Structure 1
Amino acid sequence: DALRAAHRRGARTVSICTGAFVLARAGLLDGRRATTHWRRTGQLAAAFPEVSVAEDVLYVDHGDVATSAGSGAGIDLCLHLVRSDLGSSYAAQVARSMVLPPHRDGSQLQYAPPPTPAGPGTDASLAPVLEWALTRLAADLSVGRLAAYAGLSPRTFARRFVRQVGVSPGQWLLQQRIDAARSLLERTDLPVEAVAARVGLSSAVNLRRRFHSAVGTTPGAYRRLFGEAGTA
């Protein structure tokens, strides 16, 4: 009753790990997508068939209600909420103080088997390709070009990328470009056209469309809310 009353008052309700069972029992997840620890997703789905259980994501945020996988994913969710409320720069500061990566997208896989040493027949890490791409976001980074840098065919590269990173190369690259745009909007007074060019989104129109789809607001509105350049 207390949870339902708080939700009716407009409180944001967040669960970590198996806390999703409490929210489900309160009816706050009815008709919604939610997640919990990967060992308990089947149990959650069986106990609460009205909940759409996402088995392989880190967290799900509906704005008023959010759920996460295990305890580590709970930290990711909390950083996501800080990022949404206070901006990516502040979230990055919090993450650095906790010695954590600044951002893991909620759609990232919540569980992966332990890595095995590279050797004959095993996949080499794509980390060097990711680092190379992050320094060249303004460039035309097609799957073919990324694959060529990795020394792989585009098809093999795309398959290996999903296996290691959890999303497609295009999805990963778009997220990095949106993150870079957020940072520039917060820290600089560059025109939106210049921000778009620097992060490889080609035009202000494309940036606005992609940004709104990912963040839920326009670049201009985001800058007014989180920008530092105008208040320094």
Structure 2
Amino acid sequence: MASWDIVIPEIFCPFPTTFSDAPHPAAERVGRDVLAHLPASRASSGLDRTVAAVRLVDFTGRFYPGSSPQGLFITMMYSLIFFSHEEWVESGDIQHHPRPGEEAARVYDRALMAFDDATQSTVDDPPFLKMLQPFGQSMRAFGRPDVTSRFRAALRCFLQAQAWELNLLRRGEVPALAVYRDLRRHASGILPAYSLTPLIFDMHTDDHLLDHVLIRTLIARLANYASWANDLLSLSVVP
């Protein structure tokens, strides 16, 4: 098929080309609602410092100036869960060895159950797991089971890829390039975030659009770009 025969489907691009100069009018109110989920699930002050350092409330509003208050809540909540998960993973290091595989597998299985509202959190559960329950409830309140299903699938792949990375660290192995290329985009957490776009901006989408080969390719390339750039910038600079 010639290149000029390709018909790109129409899709609203909600992402600003520049960082918004004006704060989101609902950011502070939504931020208070999101951060209210922290006290009951806080395990340390590390997550508080992270939230403050990245200016979660203000920056999220500026990155998504066209989002609804409900959509802003969803994306802030996911960001908080993501940072909380990173805090949990890093806090499990013992003499530079990651958490035991059995512990990570158990927590990740319960994480999906928490999102499905199929289990009650316990005092031993990490903060990110506890926050997945109200997050899942908030998603289902939109009445978009198609988006919820796509997010859950992306979340499952994210957790599986995280377990893959932990196993590599535990064994001290470097993945093959082909394996890294295929799995790193899932481990980055970008794909679950992208799947939230229809809720963040109240977009009417359907499976035909989201499963279009060009849209799927663009999503994969977006995730590759962001995750590869993050990895490159994380390398130690040797003078």
Q: So what's the TM-score if we normalise by structure 2?
A: 0.29
**More strand, by proportion:** 1
**More helix, by proportion:** 2
Q: Decide which structure has the larger Cα Rg and report it.
A: 1
Q: More relative contact order in 1 or in 2 (CA 8 Å, sep 6+)? A: 2
